Amino acid sequence: MTEQVYHSIYPDIYVPTDVSLHQFLCARNPDDVPDDKVILEDLSLPKKRLTYGGVRRDAAIVAGGLSTQYGLRAGDAVAVLAQNSVEYSQLAHSVMWLGGVIVGLNWLASAYEIQHYLAIARPKLIVVDAQFRPRVEEALKASKRLDLKPRVVDLGGDSPESIFKVATRGSTPLPPFDLSGKDNRKHPAAIVFSSGTSGKPKGVQWSHYGAIAHLLTSRSANPEIQNAREREVFYAPFAHMFGLLGAVLVPSYIGNYVLAMKQFNYAEWIEANSRIRATSMKMVPPTAVAITKDPNVEKLQLDSVNTVVCAGGTLQAEVVQRLQSLLKGVSIIQAYGMSETAVAGLRPGRSVEKSGSVGRLFPSVKLRLVDDQLRDVPLGVSGEALVKAPTVFMEYRDNPEATALEFHNGWLRTGDMLRMDKDGFLWFQDRKKEMIKYKGNQVAPAELEDILSSHPDVVEAAVCAVFDSSQQTEIPVGYVSLKPAIAEKDYPAVLERILQHTNGLVAPYKKIRGGLHYLPTIPKNPTGKVMRAALPARVEAAKVATGRSSKL
């Protein structure tokens, strides 16, 4: 059968293969940004700043100290367990400037989870916020998979032994890692960990080539919001792909201004957007819903915001309309990507006409949509997305088997269900493994979550599958957290009202037949994605499955 390959309408990008990330950054300044422009600043005290020229100057100095004081060499991994900060960004640039591999660890991770991360990354050095040191030391003590115990160093603070104080003592600046005459596709620059939706998190390894490709792709695909004039408040963890790219790498290339939050707090975030006169707001769907339900948002000065960028899920039409009303016609755009690659994005000029779409393919991206037998589906039919792109990751660190399984004849298997419309715009459906199959029909949990979240009594929502043995099929079960003003005695009636409202808006096979239940909070990962595996029905199903297997 002939493959149906979709191509981007944008001109292909040229990604050099013989320079390192920082050789590229030292040679490129697409908006002619002055060296003294502040590009990154801490929201919390002490408010440190990083300038466009300072990224390069400081990285050279600190890289010299990392080499002489800590013995780091090209290819060595440095793990970071810290909250967002200017110092985090400085360290990441310094490690990659040297030719090392920066490894972001989720600062919420338990000691047990940290063991898993370290076993994959095998870092020579672990840099931590001081309050997280006990957790790391507990992980190291329990670890049986590390041949050599890495050194643990504080990132900042008052300690004379913090990494910046040690690394800058008499340091001689180094030139950026030199890949002239070499293949940058074979040299790792960073590791971000996958969300673990299909097992334990895997170490997604980016090459220098891939990192450069991400910068060129984002600029080429959306120059309206990828430029030095943009200002934003950023809360996604720097350890995540979204944070590493959006707050650490992109500002060092295009020179936009980012105010970094250590961790998300809605009230602080929305106020900061008003105070700095933000031009764009990057968020995940729960944040967008929170704005629409905030009675004080109209009192803030948010008229400077021209674009809302939503990632991690699609927004329901009512949420989009409410945001546009509150923010006076702001363009609301969505994008689609993952730790392993960047795929598509919607541009502001099409944000109304194609509201809800994740946009067109990014430059140099090729796409196929296939069924369970890997046969290409017709235009307009949902299928699993297979991708080829310059931004596709290098490999899963120390896991060749998982890397091999992620590809089919050179195509990255995303595990996500999308459809392409007649105009060439993509529409995200859901994770393939999270699609609910009700009597042969596919039901997307995200679609039901959007409808539930749009109800005025709902703060946030989640949907997952539960198996109904009487019908021998999966059925959707829903969970919502309710507005604080609703009395607990009224929960049953309110939940029933919300359930009837939702079921009345969808096709019969999509109805939430497993019931709707109250949860004080919906479990989410640090980037705001719903953790469906942590919902009560899934937890109970896992217990039952474990019990059955233990009896075999």
Same domain? 57 vs 139: yes
Same domain? 378 vs 404: yes
> What does the alpha-carbon distance between residue 287 and residue 307 come to, in Å, rounded to a whole number?
15
Looking at the domain assignment, is residue 407 inside a domain?
A: yes
How many residues are there in the chain? 552
Same domain? 457 vs 529: yes
Same domain? 352 vs 386: yes
Contact by Cβ (8 Å): 64, 111: no
Looking at the domain assignment, is residue 189 inside a domain?
A: yes
Can you tell me whether residue 492 is helix, strand or coil?
A: helix
Looking at the domain assignment, is residue 425 inside a domain?
A: no
pLDDT tens per residue across span 113-145: 899 899 999 999 999 999 999 999 999 998 877
CATH number at residue 448: 3.30.300.30
Find, among 452, 462, 445, 414, the residue nearest to 510 by Cα: 445
pLDDT tens per residue across span 325-359: 899 889 999 888 988 999 999 999 998 899 889 99
Looking at the domain assignment, is residue 229 inside a domain?
A: yes
Mean pLDDT of the chain: 91
Same domain? 450 vs 499: yes
Same domain? 398 vs 470: no
pLDDT at 547 over 70: no
Same domain? 386 vs 480: no
Same domain? 379 vs 490: no
Q: Is the four-CA dihedral 137, 206, 157, 70 of positive or negative sign?
A: positive
**Last residue of one domain, picked from the residues 398, 420, 442:** 420
Least confident of 147-151, 251-255, 256-260, 451-455: 147-151
What pTM was estimated for this model as a whole?
A: 0.83
Apex 121 CA angle, 118 and 122, nearest 5: 75
| More confident site: 320 or 147 | 320
Number of domains in the chain: 2
CATH number at residue 64: 3.40.50.12780
Looking at the domain assignment, is residue 502 inside a domain?
A: yes
Same domain? 45 vs 69: yes
Range of the domain at 203: 5-420
Looking at the domain assignment, is residue 429 inside a domain?
A: no
Can you tell me whether residue 151 is helix, strand or coil?
A: strand
Looking at the domain assignment, is residue 427 inside a domain?
A: no
**Quick one: pLDDT band at residue 440, thresholds 50, 70, 90?**
low
Same domain? 415 vs 498: no
